[in-house]
Amino acid sequence: MNRQELVHTIREKQSYLCIGLDTDLHRIPRHLHAHADPVFAFNKAIIDATKDLCVSYKINTAFYECMGIRGWETLQRTIEYIPEGIFTIADAKRGDIGNTATQYAKTFFDTFQFDSVTVAPYMGKDSVTPFLEFSGKWAILLGLTSNEGSGDFQLQRMEGGEYLYEKVLRAGTSWGSADNLMFVVGATQTEQMARIRALVPDHFFLVPGVGAQGGDLAQISQLGMNKDCGLLVNVSRGIIYAGNGEDFATDARQAAQQYQTAMADLLARTTQTVGV
């Protein structure tokens, strides 16, 4: 999916919600365990219940890889089940030397047909650029993450005063464009969000950390939106585990609906978003 299509979808659905399919076999409702593929049965119900409210699904591959070959089969069924017109993210946080990075890119773009993959920038330019060579596909580079450990490296000051994460953002914008590169900016990083948006005015940000990690949707949206919206706000546990009984999909829909309603309101109120 290209940027124009993504912006169009956001406008049509009045939503910039990304639902994280971080599906843990041990957290899904008991009755689903009777299915041959319980995780897929769960994902299918969540997708059916929420596909009109979100513009993206993020599959965190860790939750599938931990189940070995069965997990990869579940991942494949899930990505194939996501309807056309919804932006798909393989949250795999890959990063390795160039020829290996190319194999990672092939895995997620060619074999599994994801639109995008999350990439860890620590190994530098040659570990990132292979992901940018696939037409119509995106790399989503970790910029400033939502977790406590983001202070360990990302928020360290460099000589000259800039943060390490700022150096990563600036380098990233020289490697890729706003048409094939996004950045992860954690929803918990409200203090930095305006600074980040000023440094990177055009790129989309994937913003995880709303819901279970306590990030505030309104605050982060007001600070982070650009004229094309420019945000994909991810919620995983706060939606998919909104309920855990027979009605879990209805509960997930209700939670997603609340986010979508809030997002429509924020899109309408944020004057910057003239394009949306």
The residues that are catalytic are 93
Contacts with ligand OMP by CB under 6 A: the residue count is 20
Site for ligand OMP in 160-199 (CB under 6 A): 184, 186
Is 143 an interacting residue with respect to ligand OMP (CB under 6 A)? Answer: no
Is 145 an interacting residue with respect to ligand OMP (CB under 6 A)? Answer: yes
Site for ligand OMP in 237-276 (CB under 6 A): 237-238
- Which listed residue (146, 154, 192, 260) binds ligand OMP by CB under 6 A? 146
- Which listed residue (9, 22, 163, 220) binds ligand OMP by CB under 6 A? 22
- Point out which residues pair with 163 in neighbouring strands: 157
- Which listed residue (9, 50, 61, 118) binds ligand OMP by CB under 6 A? 118
- Which listed residue (29, 130, 209, 230) binds ligand OMP by CB under 6 A? 209
Measured CA to CA in angstroms, residue 139 lies from 76, 79, 86, 241, 263 at distances of 20, 17, 16, 28, 24
257/272 with CB nearer ligand OMP: 257
Measured CA to CA in angstroms, residue 147 lies from 150, 184, 205, 271 at distances of 6, 12, 16, 30
- Which listed residue (15, 221, 236, 270) binds ligand OMP by CB under 6 A? 236
Measured CA to CA in angstroms, residue 59 lies from 71, 79, 103 at distances of 12, 8, 19
Site for ligand OMP in 54-113 (CB under 6 A): 60, 91
56/145 with CB nearer ligand OMP: 145
What is the 3-state secondary structure of 208-241?
ECECCCCECHHHHHHHHCECCECEEEEECHHHHC
Query: How many residues can be counted in the chain?
Result: 276
Around Cβ 218, how many Cβ atoms within 10 Å? 14
From CA 200, how far away is CA 196, in angstroms rounded?
6
Which residue of the chain is nearest ligand OMP when measured via CB? 145
Residues that bind ligand OMP (CB under 6 A): 20, 22, 60, 91, 118, 145-147, 184, 186, 208-209, 211-213, 234-238
